[in-house]
Structure 1
Amino acid sequence: MTDEKKLNSNNNKRVGVEFISGSLSGAVTRFFVAPLDVVKIRFQLQNTTKTGNKLYTGVFQALTKVTKEEGFRALWKGNLSAELLWISYAAVQFSTYTQILALIDKNYRGGHSFLFNGITSSFLQIVPQMAFQFTFYESFKYILVNYSNDKNQALKNPFNQFFCGLLSGAFSKFLVLPFDVVKKRLQVSNKAKYSIIQCMSDLYKNEGGIKSLFKGGVPSIMKAGLAAALSFTFFEQSKLFFLKIFK
């Protein structure tokens, strides 16, 4: 039986394994990045006019301040609902993505460089960060594997997965950060009609120019990098583990 026929016959099993692996990855990742998410949102929502004092000035200062004033558990505020969201989201995201990648690989041999062509304008409007993140991850992984003597082992190496995930998460978050800041502001705004352009304009004029569109940049990028690193590593390693069990 050819490798392609084996892949087709085991497709249902692989989808199940990828779904379970994605769920575990989402649960573990969300738990570890929750404190950075709490800090990130507080940075993005604090008003930093020229005369105003900043409540939060740095990641570690913010973590310490929240812990002292609200208790250690405050760093995981709202985490239960977020856990449920991440579990379901990661399960669908990873299982869908790997199936799409498998289908594309049947028609495109010779690497994953084609992924750069997949970032169409419509895709960017729907899921910009995920489009960038998966593109960067597969591209960094492809580069590492090509410079490795043992390509199969390089693909399974958790350190490679963590490193590629870290870079992909950080870079993709940086590219969409202004939209994340605006999204948070729109969510808490009490203005009936407040457009994205108006929000960006107000931030730029009143809160420090272009820097205001990257508020909370450090915790945001730290969180995104760590989340992607953990997500990809746990997913890849869980998938390898379960595929061995269900052979």
Structure 2
Amino acid sequence: MMMTSRETEKRRAVSSSKTPMIAGAVAGVVSRFCIAPLDVVKIRLQLQPQLLIQHALPVAGSTPVGTLYNGIYGTMRTIIREEGVTALWKGNIPAELLYLTYGAAQFFIYAQTQQLLSSYSNFPSSMVNTASGGIAGGLATSITYPLDLLRTRFAASKTIEGKTGVYGSISAAIRGIYKDEGIRGFYRGGGAAVVQIVPYMGLFFGSYEGVKTAFLSVPFSSIGLLVPFNANDHPVLSSLAGKGSIDAISGITAGVIAKTGVFPLDTIRKRLQVQGPTRTGYVHGDIPVYDRGIMWCGREVVRREGWRGLYRGLTVSLVKAAPASAVTMWTYGRAVEVIGWIEGREGV
């Protein structure tokens, strides 16, 4: 049965609106699995309230409670030694659900917002991209935040004799949080997350589009002279662009810029997420009580641990941001191509 031209156009319109959502979900899942071990390492370091220097103020007694981690390699080695290799993927199920739904929501909202702002405003493209990224990040974070909280709590729980410390399963965690903390318990640190993600996604998408544009038309130094050319006219860069390498490089650069800019808020969010009745049950049993909001939490971290306390885990975060952003944007681009190829086949 052949479709009319109107039905074909309608089908294409619906399909094109779903493409960013499907491709974003695929990109989120693939990216998460690849960087899961680094994410666990980052969370363990961020929640560690003791500095590995003599000048750190005591938090909950004169000696730290629980395991002390030092550096990316040292932390990873300690986790493997004490809990096994699989502990590096702890919290991966809620994290995969988080990345899947977040990726789908983020790219769908970004595409729709970008189209809307471009159609009804005369703002420069860089401003449209930045605003669209911020709006997409804020809304996607609000939708998926309970999954983010579950991911953090599982990653912070130590495995002892094959059993996870605080919660035995995702369903047990959901029941426990609802029973002990209510609905609000699922949104601990949510304010810091929204405050963080809006400038983060704005910086990320704004930087990504800017860097990608620069790569596609960049001054090239040749015999001491700057010779402008387009990447599409250059065989090497044209080949790289075709393989998605420019997407990956642009994603790496944008991820590093955005992550560095908002990292203190990420640390505050992690500290707030493990508050509540289970606070002392995580791998760091001496996590302080932060019960007076975002600003107070930040001041307390600085007072007890210095400014470095807000940036603990930044190195692993940047190491994680590069491959995560590269894999996300590369996979997203390839997923869009595959979806387009499938749609083309169906239209034959």
Q: Is the 8 A contact 2:211 2:250 kept in 1?
A: yes
- The alignment status of 1:233 with 2:304, answered yes or no, reads no
Counterparts of 1:168-187 in structure 2, within 5 Å, are 168-187=254-273
Q: Once the 2 structures are TM-superposed, how far is the Cα of residue 109 of structure 1 from its aligned partner?
A: 8.8
- TM-score after normalising by structure 2: 0.61
Q: Is the 8 A contact 2:28 2:100 kept in 1?
A: yes
Q: Deviations over 1:34-69 (max 9, x none)?
A: 111100011011122443678222111211111121
Structure with the largest fraction of helix = 1
Counterparts of 1:49-60 in structure 2, within 5 Å, are 49=51, 50-51=53-54, 55-60=68-73
Q: Number of aligned residue pairs: give it.
A: 241
| Structure ID, larger Rg | 2
Q: What's the C-alpha RMSD, in Å, of the aligned pairs?
A: 3.1
AA aligned opposite 1:240: E
Q: Which moved more, 1:14-23 or 1:230-239?
A: 14-23
- TM-score after normalising by structure 1: 0.84
Structure 1 stretches lacking a partner, 5+ long: 1-5
Q: Once the 2 structures are TM-superposed, how far is the Cα of residue 224 of structure 1 from its aligned partner?
A: 2.2
For 2:259 and 2:290, the matched residues in 1 are separated by: 29
- Residue in structure 2 matched with residue 141 of structure 1 by the alignment: 212
Q: Is the 8 A contact 2:212 2:246 kept in 1?
A: yes
Q: Secondary structure at the match of 1:127?
A: helix
- Residue in structure 1 matched with residue 12 of structure 2 by the alignment: 10
- Which protein, 1 or 2, shows the higher relative CO under an 8 Å CA cutoff with sep ≥ 6? 1
Aligned counterpart in structure 2 of residue 189 of structure 1, from 275, 280, 293:
275
For 1:169 and 1:79, the matched residues in 2 are separated by: 21
Q: Which moved more, 1:145-154 or 1:176-185?
A: 145-154
Q: Is the 8 A contact 2:134 2:200 kept in 1?
A: no
- Residue in structure 2 matched with residue 217 of structure 1 by the alignment: 314
Q: Which moved more, 1:41-50 or 1:162-171?
A: 41-50
Structure with the largest fraction of strand = 2
Q: Relative to structure 1, is the Cα distance of residues 102 and 155 closer, same or farther in structure 2, using a 3 angstrom cutoff?
A: farther
Q: Relative to structure 1, is the Cα distance of residues 192 and 184 closer, same or farther in structure 2, using a 3 angstrom cutoff?
A: closer
Q: Is the 8 A contact 2:114 2:128 kept in 1?
A: no
Q: Is the 8 A contact 1:186 1:194 kept in 2?
A: no
Structure 2 stretches lacking a partner, 5+ long: 1-7, 55-62, 139-193, 219-229, 277-288
Q: Is the 8 A contact 1:18 1:94 kept in 2?
A: yes
